[in-house]
Amino acid sequence: MLWFAPVLCVLCLLSGAKAGKVCSRPPYVQSAASKPEKFVFEPGESVTYTCRPGYIRHAGSNKVTCSITGTWSHPTLACKPRACAYPGPLENGDLHHEDLTFQSWIRFSCHDGYILHGANVSSCTETGQWSQKLPVCEPVTCRPPPIPEFGRLATYFPNEGNLSTFRDVVKYECLPTYALFGNETATCGANGNWSQVPECRDVKCQRPPELQNGFMTFSTFRKYNYKEVVTYGCNPTYVLEGQRHSFCEKDGEWSPKPTCRAPCQLTVKKAVVLYNGNKIDIQKISNRQIHHADIIGFYCTDEPGKCGYPADTQCLDGTITIPSCFKEIGFWNWLTKDPSGLPSCT
């Protein structure tokens, strides 16, 4: 039996060599866990990887196997972070982020004039949902607008609770005889305050100035209130040029008054003229006067063509210029034909 001992020793060595070719812990795969969890794996055994919470399988096989040489097959599994849906848009606000995947953060902010109601940050959770709901940007509110002394609100539409919201506008007006200085509107601002409110002042004008060659109606000797009106008129034969009414303005002065323009006296004693579209003897024009801005045509002769034509001239505030081509028929040229009777020049 002495031969049996060496053989037994050889078998023991061979058995010990085979038992030593085992695999230790499986290779590390980022963002994944393996099962079963053991310290030693026999050749032929496999482990299965699963992506950790918050990650999903992207590519590769989820298994590795321990080989007879005591090494693991190469792991190919790739896990990527789970994505969260874009939570916006945020009306009247902005979302600030770099990523929309697991463990990333998103920050919320509102535009000027709006206040954030809700969480200002939210994170993407392992389930692909955001940790917080999308907040709301509500407009800033303003208390009822101030009313200036001697003034009132012409337009004002408050919301519930008699409050106004950002960018709401009110319109002011002054009580009668008071003048408004500043903007007639005020706006609810981003800071919850109204923009500058106008001022209502008591404005007076002195008695309006007289009109040369004219008159005023209802012009008593007193001071006049803001926006009061006087009406001007011209004496007979004078023409009013400009606005007939003048107003007491907020600077305490009157708006520009009109002017009375003088008529023109026709010094020509004898002539046939074109006036108001008709040929007429100049002597038949009342008082031989025409009004300011009136146009009258004096007939002239075209010698080469032996025809007549009217040369127009206009009355300008009492001044009129007789055309140089006009020749008045007198004692020394009585044989000359009156150009108004000649064929019309074409």
Prediction pTM value: 0.63
Q: Which stretch of 13-27, 127-141, 161-175 has the lowest confidence by average pLDDT? A: 13-27
Percent of the chain residues topping a pLDDT of 90 = 84
Distances (CA, A) of 275 to 55, 182, 263, 297, 328: 101, 53, 15, 6, 17
Decide if pLDDT at 274 tops 60: yes
For residue 184, what pLDDT band results from cuts at 50, 70 and 90?
very high
- Estimate the share of the chain in helix, then strand, then coil, as percent rounded to the nearest 5: 10, 40, 55
Tell me how far apart the alpha carbons of residues 224 and 177 are, in angstroms, rounded to a whole number: 9
pLDDT at 58: 93
Cis peptide before 36 (omega within 30 of 0): yes
pLDDT at 306: 86
pLDDT at 328: 85
Distances (CA, A) of 122 to 4, 131, 145, 185: 76, 5, 38, 41
CATH 3.90.420.10 fits 264-341, yes or no: no
The tens digit of pLDDT for each residue in 306-334 reads 899 999 999 999 999 999 999 887 655 55
Decide if pLDDT at 9 tops 90: no
- DSSP conformation class of 194: B
Q: For residues 11-20, give the mean pLDDT.
A: 41
Q: For residues 247-264, give the mean pLDDT.
A: 96
φ and ψ at residue 295, rounded to 5 degrees: -115, 135
Max CA distance (Å), the chain: 186
Q: 209-261 maps to which CATH number? A: 2.10.70.10
pLDDT at 333: 55
Protein fold of 41-81: Complement Module; domain 1 (2.10.70)
Q: Which CATH number fits domain 93-139: 2.10.70.10, 3.40.50.1980, 2.40.10.10, 2.30.30.790?
A: 2.10.70.10
Decide if pLDDT at 10 tops 50: no
Q: Which stretch of 28-37, 58-67, 237-246, 324-333 has the lowest confidence by average pLDDT? A: 324-333
pLDDT at 17: 38
Enumerate the domain spans of the chain. Answer: 41-81, 93-139, 152-202, 209-261, 264-341
For residue 264, what pLDDT band results from cuts at 50, 70 and 90?
very high
Give the alpha-carbon dihedral of 106, 110, 111, 115, to 10 degrees: -170
Interior/surface letters 19-46, b for 16+ CB within 10 angstroms, e for the rest: eeeebeebeebebbebeeeeeebeeebe
Q: Which stretch of 120-134, 213-227, 252-266 has the lowest confidence by average pLDDT? A: 213-227
pLDDT at 3: 38
Percent of the chain residues topping a pLDDT of 70 = 92
For residue 294, what pLDDT band results from cuts at 50, 70 and 90?
very high
pLDDT at 15: 42
Domains 209-261 and 264-341 alike in fold: yes
The tens digit of pLDDT for each residue in 187-202 reads 999 999 999 999 999 9
Protein fold of 152-202: Complement Module; domain 1 (2.10.70)
Tell me how far apart the alpha carbons of residues 93 and 113 are, in angstroms, rounded to a whole number: 10
